[in-house]
């Protein structure tokens, strides 16, 4: 079987490096392999864009009238 690794699943955002990095997974947190800082799934900007996208999607659906 060919293990297909998704780019976005294999990297997380490190606020110290200010980029998406490879990370070490511990029990419930992940750490940057380069500097050891805690990493998160999205950068703040990306997270906001993601949430805005969800909201916009909802608004669009709400405003769409079925005629």
- Using the minimum distance from each CB to Zn ion, give the nearer residue, 47 or 55: 47
CB of 40 to Zn ion, least distance (A): 11
Task: Name the residue whose CB lies closest to Zn ion.
Answer: 32
d(CA 60, CA 42): 24
CB of 6 to Zn ion, least distance (A): 20
- Using the minimum distance from each CB to Zn ion, give the nearer residue, 46 or 57: 46
Could you tell me the two tokens for 46? Answer: 């990306």
Count the neighbouring beta carbons within 10 Å of the beta carbon of residue 14: 24
d(CA 27, CA 53): 30
Residues near Zn ion, by CB under 5 A? 14, 16-17, 32, 34-35, 37
């Amino acid at each position: 079987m060919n293990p297909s690794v998704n780019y976005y699943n294999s990297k997380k955002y490190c606020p110290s490096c200010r980029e998406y990095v490879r990370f070490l997974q511990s029990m419930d947190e992940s750490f940057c392999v380069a500097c050891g800082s805690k990493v998160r799934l999205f950068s703040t900007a990306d997270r906001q864009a993601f949430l805005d996208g969800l909201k916009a999607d909802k608004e669009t659906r709400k405003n769409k009238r079925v005629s």
